Amino acid sequence: FCLWVQVMYKDGGHRTFPLEHIFNEIEDSIERFGIKAIYFDDDIFTGNKKFVLEFCEEMKKKGLGIEWSVMGDAMITDEEMINAMADAGCVGFKFGVESGNKEVLKNIQKPINFDKVKRVAATCAKRGIKSHATFSFGLSGDTMESMEETMKFACELDVDSVQFSISTPFPGTRYYKKLKEKDMLLTENWNAFDGGNTSVVKDNTNLTHKEIEDFYKKAGSRWLKYKLK
């Protein structure tokens, strides 16, 4: 369901701009627009440890005085990277978990180690980096029980905020092609492909689209109630 790698970059390899280019853009933005913070909207900002450590070192040397946050991959982010990021002014780290069920994660080919995710979240909290985790309901193989597992893991994870969504087969992704071939799409009205209100996948033996939508609608308040206990 993810557009970044499959659609926008057509499954290409991970590459980065040279640090000189990145900091030229940051300094230009500070000078021209007076920015106070910057967000690197890159799914795998932390995909290359050498790059992350060099970036952090350069950020400290520059002394730009801005806060910054990133999206990264919790599975390839370690304590050394988080410490370097915190020392260089990072204030936010967003990462995807998607499911709290191992079989569902295997179905979507997302290698998640739950203990590692917990350690990353705890290290961020220790170093004052706000963390944000994303989860999705109605993934391949999801059942009411597996969605409850996801909800439980989301509540117990030491993060500052969460994002829940309905798994949506965006055009161009392997998920979309698979459902299209099996005649499992409820509609091709793109207005319904929002990931936030409507499930566009036909009912199956595990779940109906209505059950997925109802579960999603209650997830946010359930998470908040748990955190406020």
pLDDT of 120-165, one tens digit each?
A: 999 999 999 999 999 999 999 999 999 999 999 999 999 999 999 9
For residue 5, what pLDDT is reported? 65
Q: In this predicted model, what pLDDT tens digit does every residue of 69-87 receive, in sequence order?
A: 999 999 999 999 999 999 9
pLDDT on residue 15: 77
Place of tokens 């989301």: 154
53 pLDDT above the threshold of 90: yes
Burial (CB < 10 A; 0-12, 13-18, 19+), residue 10, is exposed
Residue 92 forms beta bridges with which residues? 69, 130
Q: What percent of the chain has pLDDT over 90?
A: 84
Is it the case that residue 216 has pLDDT exceeding 60?
A: yes
Q: What is residue 217's predicted lDDT score, i.e. its pLDDT?
A: 97
Distance CA 217, CA 201 (A): 17
Strands ordered across the beta sheet of 37-40: 37-40, 67-72, 90-98, 130-137, 161-166
Round the average pLDDT of the chain to a whole number and report it: 93
Give how far Cα 114 sits from Cα of 110, 131, 191, 214, Å: 12, 15, 34, 26
> Quick one: average pLDDT of 91-102?
97
Which residue(s) pair with 131 in the sheet? 93
Q: What is the mean pLDDT of residues 169-177?
A: 90
- As a whole number of angstroms, the longest Cα–Cα distance in the chain is 57
112 has which bridge partners? Answer: none
Highest mean pLDDT among 2-6, 92-96, 192-196: 92-96
- For residues 192 and 196, give the distance between their C-alpha atoms in angstroms, rounded to a whole number: 9
Pull the structure tokens for residue 143: 């059942």
